[in-house]
Chains A and B, each alone.
Chain A
Amino acid sequence: DAGVTQSPTHLIKTRGQHVTLRCSPISGHKSVSWYQQVLGQGPQFIFQYYEKEERGRGNFPDRFSARQFPNYSSELNVNALLLGDSALYLCASSLDWTDYGYTFGSGTRLTVV
């Protein structure tokens, strides 16, 4: 069985640009969550989606947006990139949005220059 897949694995962007990160959850999982992890810190919650609806949003600016598709895959979009957006972006898959645990993908390393 395929695990959680994220693409791309690495990305370099220039300040002010836009980026789209993609995530495919484990087959049968209907919830996807996005996290940002800056070097040396724990992951910070960005969004949670379940059945294509947003179920939670962290303390991130409106430059961050996401969506979930009918096949439960998800995209995270970041506009007007700042140097401070450089981080490892992690996608987590779960059966639903309540009491099940998470399975994480390998992440997308975003570098903004």
Chain B
Amino acid sequence: KQEVTQIPAALSVPEGENLVLNCSFTDSAIYNLQWFRQDPGKGLTSLLLIQSSQREQTSGRLNASLDKSSGRSTLYIAASQPGDSATYLCAVKGETGGFKTIFGAGTRLFVKA
């Protein structure tokens, strides 16, 4: 059974800092891993999708890496801004168990101006 863990659960940083959010998963047989952003009470916005054959994806100030063998992914945010304040969720689509996408509990990020 796939389990996804995100560390830290919450993070508060001053504006301008570079930061790393961590995601780990227990079953390495995955199709893809996707990072999402969620603002309070809202739906999920996709940030980056990494296929199982890829090692990383980049979009603007965001970079996500994937190490399937160790069951880990990191989301790197460069030069953080107050507008980056949100909950960041990691989701893993597995090959086993019917291609379910399993989410972590998220990391709540607060960037102070």
Q: Which of B46, B51, B98 contacts A55 (CB 8 A)?
A: B98
Question: How many A residues face the partner with a CB closer than 8 A?
Answer: 28
With A102-B46, A103-B46 in contact, do A42 and B99 touch (Cβ < 8 Å)?
no
Are A90 and B46 in contact, CB atoms less than 8 angstroms apart? no
A16 at the interface (CB under 8 A from B): no
Are B101 and A45 in contact, CB atoms less than 8 angstroms apart? yes
Q: Which of B34, B43, B52, B103 contacts A101 (CB 8 A)?
A: B34
Return chain B residues, CB-CB under 8 Å to A72.
none
Return chain A residues, CB-CB under 8 Å to B98.
48, 55-57
Are B41 and A102 in contact, CB atoms less than 8 angstroms apart? no
B64 at the interface (CB under 8 A from A): no
Q: How far is the CA of A67 from the CA of B89 in the complex (A)?
A: 27
Q: How far is the CA of A25 from the CA of B88 in the complex (A)?
A: 23
With A88-B41, A104-B36 in contact, do A98 and B101 touch (Cβ < 8 Å)?
no
Are B106 and A42 in contact, CB atoms less than 8 angstroms apart? yes
Within 8 A of B (CB), among A13-48: 33, 35, 40-45, 48
B86 at the interface (CB under 8 A from A): no
Chain A: residues with CB nearer than 8 A to chain B?
33, 35, 40-45, 48, 55-58, 88, 90, 92, 97-107, 109
29 contacts between A and B (CB under 8 A): A33-B101, A40-B105, A41-B105, A42-B4, A42-B104, A42-B105, A43-B89, A43-B103, A44-B103, A45-B102, A55-B98, A56-B100, A57-B98, A58-B100, A90-B43, A90-B44, A92-B101, A99-B31, A99-B32, A99-B52, A101-B32, A101-B49, A102-B34, A102-B101, A104-B43, A104-B46, A106-B42, A107-B42, A109-B41
